[in-house]
Chain A
Amino acid sequence: MAEPTNSPAGGGLGTGRDEVQLRFREDDLPPNAQVTVDAFLEQDDATAVRVEPGDDARDLLPHLGRIRLVEVNFPVFGDGRGYSAARLLREEGYTGELRAVGDVLVDQIAYMRRCGFDSFAPERPLDEADVKAAFDRFPHAYQAAADNAVPIWKLRHG
């Protein structure tokens, strides 16, 4: 797992949901998304959008080319719709930043990473040692998802 890069303040902890704590990208940090999916669809020039749990991420598919940042909000950590939203954006070829914001807990970030998230702006900052442990924990994955992990079945069968 790559070390987080481009974190603000030289890798220090963020303090709010607009602060990116972990980022796994080399490009410049885009401006934060301030528009909802509905508002985004009415604007021709917006390049960042925030997806809420009830939104249909498929609505964004015709516009993927101009999007630099998709924030997926987790108002409560137990609402897992954002995982599917992330995966289907990646499966449809979205390569911009995919950021998990809100009630994002350290025990979830490895799963989120597998679903295609490459930056994290948790409401409450995560302990960096716990973050490292979470990403280092599982040696393999049983199933294919939206990351580069080679599933165990592929390791078994080449």
Chain B
Amino acid sequence: MYKYDSYDQAMVDARVAEFRDQCERRLSGKLSEDQFKPLRLMNGLYLQLHAYMLRVAIPYGTLDSRQMHALADIADKYDRGYGHFTTRQNIQYNWIKLEDAADILADLAKVEMHAIQTSGNCIRNISSDHFAGAAADEVVDPRPYAELLRQWSSFHPEFSYLPRKFKIAVIASEQDRAAMRLHDIGINIVRGPGGDLGAAFYVGGGMGRTPMIAPCIREFVPLDQLVTYSEACLRVYNRHGRRDNKYKARIKILVHEMGAEEYARQVEAEFAHLLEQGVEPPLAELERIKPFFDLPEEVANAADAPQAESPGSELAEWILANTHKHKNPAFVSAVISLKPVGGIPGDATAEQMHVMADLAKEYGFDELRVMHTQNIVLPHVRKADLPALFAKLQDASLATANLDAIDDIIACPGLDYCSLANARSIPVAQKISRRFAESGKAKELGKLKLKISGCINACGHHHAGHIGILGVDRKGVENYQLLLGGSEAEDVSLAKITGPGFDEDGVVDAIETVTDLYMREREDGERFLDTYRRLGMAPFKEALYG
């Protein structure tokens, strides 16, 4: 866990004071709503349908029990007793008063947290692999690089009024668990031909109304040039990104219109110039950051015997579904599902947050992660502790065994909360989850990623779902389009629309239709996505529309 030094703490404290001042100027009428809006947005404060919404940054999704307890306390003190974990690996509260906003930031600052740049046209919270530091397949822990970039991007004077929002993800394995190529910049830490570590830069990906997969614009940036290269990428975007139309202002449009080669050429020119400017922190700074992310010694060295589970038990099922291979075979990463059958994806009560914090302390070496799939991970759990952990999760209704199953749904808040949405997402997610859990098909289907967005902005990542659902408004009636064949992982692809949309119940039936077809047609070991890729759209369309 990265720990603030006095410099980091002073910056966050200063930000609290600044935002308190900005809120006071707004409340006294000194700032107009138009002037206040970009300022509050740059601090994660939205005005939604019913109230203000505050989005709190959880850099690369990593937090400790003290911080999770603080998030629970905020839910109790300033909200209605719950919080919503989002696809940006952060948490948002839906019922905030403007008068309380600065006090919440002050409470956060006490536990080294903030809401800096969680919204607005600036560089957003940096996301990463939720199994970072624990995964058996990683080249290196990507989070020190993410932390280096977090600091670089915080209060960046040149890039705080960009054409649009800007999202960066950093990973370091071949398996992509952070949707890296669907970010404005995706960075993959790799070993170069000589064995040295460096970064592959993918620029210009994203979802939204014009989904695009980021092309690789540089296969290897040496580690001591990471910040400089990022700065060059951003400067070309700030200077040349479109500002005439907010829907065309993302960097993916620039890279697409300019061409990846020309964009890369301009970045290289800017990079060569910036290398002379001394913007790069020395490698010593990276070396200072790294030890904060070291595996606890006990996790690195322990070698106890794995516990034998009785096959077919609930515990064994949960272990099979919700744990991930750890670099030390005595350990696993354990996923706490925030997707109970019929629940609201990503929501947790204050009480559940306290439970998760306590369990992290007791069994998880005091560390938790927020996943972009809206679940929580305990990255380092001793295999021998799994029965005890599972029992306590059951007591808190947090033991659903459905990681990456059809009912592990990503869903945006939709029309129930969001002022941008055209359709509700939550009730659709609830109906699907109930239908497939109750029929037992959820388990039979195996790995099937289903993602729902309530509008074209794609916060629910519907383009990247093996099955995606997009809610649209058709003449005042909520209508749901079905998409097939997307993936956010290393086999990245964009889902395609099947055809005319469905009403709320119709789309649930439609999912049953396509998954039934899959179960009839699948070959050994094929996921839904693999079968779809092998067969193509035609048979699915035929089954849906006859």
Contacts and interface: CB of A to CB of B under 8 A. Distances in A.
A85 B240 CA distance: 11
A152 B148 CA distance: 12
A141 interface: yes
Q: How large is the interface on A (under 10, 10 to 19, 20 to 34, 35 or more residues)?
A: 35 or more
A84 B232 CA distance: 11
A144 interface: yes
B285 A81 contact: no
A145 B151 contact: no
A66 interface: no
B20 to A, nearest CB: 11
Contacts of B21: 133
B151 A83 contact: no
A140 B39 contact: no
B532 to A, nearest CB: 42
Contacts of A59: none
Interface stretch (A12-20, A27-35, A36-44, A107-115): A107-115
B18 A157 contact: no
B238 interface: yes
Interface in A110-158: 110-112, 114-115, 127, 130, 133, 137-145, 151-157
A137 B158 contact: no
A6 B399 CA distance: 68
Interface stretch (B273-281, B312-320, B459-467): B273-281
A33 to B, nearest CB: 21
A143 B156 contact: yes
A105 interface: yes
A154 B282 CA distance: 8
Contacts of B35: 77, 105
Contacts of A56: 239
Given A153-B285, A157-B284, A157-B285, A84 B152 contact: no
B383 to A, nearest CB: 39
A141 B155 CA distance: 8
Interface string B25-65: 10000100001001100000000000000000000000000
Contacts of B239: 56, 81, 84-85
Interface stretch (B6-14, B295-303, B370-378, B384-392): B6-14
Given A80-B238, A107-B22, A115 B7 contact: no
Contacts of A127: 30
Nearest to A112: B157
B157 A138 contact: no
Contacts of A4: none
B472 interface: no
Contacts of B243: 53, 79, 81
B11 A142 contact: yes
Contacts of A133: 21
B227 to A, nearest CB: 8
Contacts of A130: 25
Nearest to B158: A83
B31 to A, nearest CB: 9
Most chain B CB within 10 A, of A84, A137, A138, is at A84
B157 A145 contact: yes
A84 B158 contact: yes
Contact of B151 (A79, A91, A112, A152): A152
A143 B154 CA distance: 8
A79 B14 contact: no
Interface string A85-103: 1011001000000000000
Interface stretch (B159-167, B203-211, B445-453): B159-167
A110 B155 CA distance: 10
B520 interface: no
Nearest to A153: B281
Contacts of A138: 11, 14, 18, 155
B155 A84 contact: no
B200 to A, nearest CB: 23
A142 B154 contact: yes
Contacts of A141: 155, 157
A62 interface: no
A123 to B, nearest CB: 12
Contact of B157 (A79, A107, A111): A111
Given A115-B158, A142-B154, A142-B155, A153 B14 contact: no
B242 to A, nearest CB: 11
A78 interface: yes
A111 B161 CA distance: 10
Contacts of B272: none
Given A83-B158, A156-B285, A140 B7 contact: yes
Contacts of B238: 80-81, 83-84
B11 A139 contact: yes
Contacts of B11: 138-140, 142, 152
A81 B157 CA distance: 12
A156 B159 contact: no
Given A78-B121, A91-B273, A142-B152, A83 B161 contact: yes
Contact of B235 (A79, A84, A140, A151): A84
B475 interface: no
A85 B154 CA distance: 20
A139 B39 CA distance: 20
Contacts of B278: 144
A79 B7 contact: no
Contacts of A107: 22, 39
Contacts of A88: 235, 273
Most chain B CB within 10 A, of A56, A112, A143, A145, is at A143
Contacts of A152: 7-8, 11, 151
Contact of A78 (B38, B156, B273, B279): B38
27 contacts: A53-B243, A77-B35, A77-B38, A79-B243, A81-B239, A84-B239, A87-B158, A91-B273, A107-B22, A111-B158, A111-B160, A115-B158, A127-B30, A130-B25, A137-B17, A137-B18, A142-B11, A142-B154, A142-B156, A143-B152, A145-B158, A152-B8, A153-B282, A157-B281, A157-B282, A157-B284, A157-B288
4 nearest CB pairs, A to B: A80-B161, A114-B157, A153-B281, A111-B157
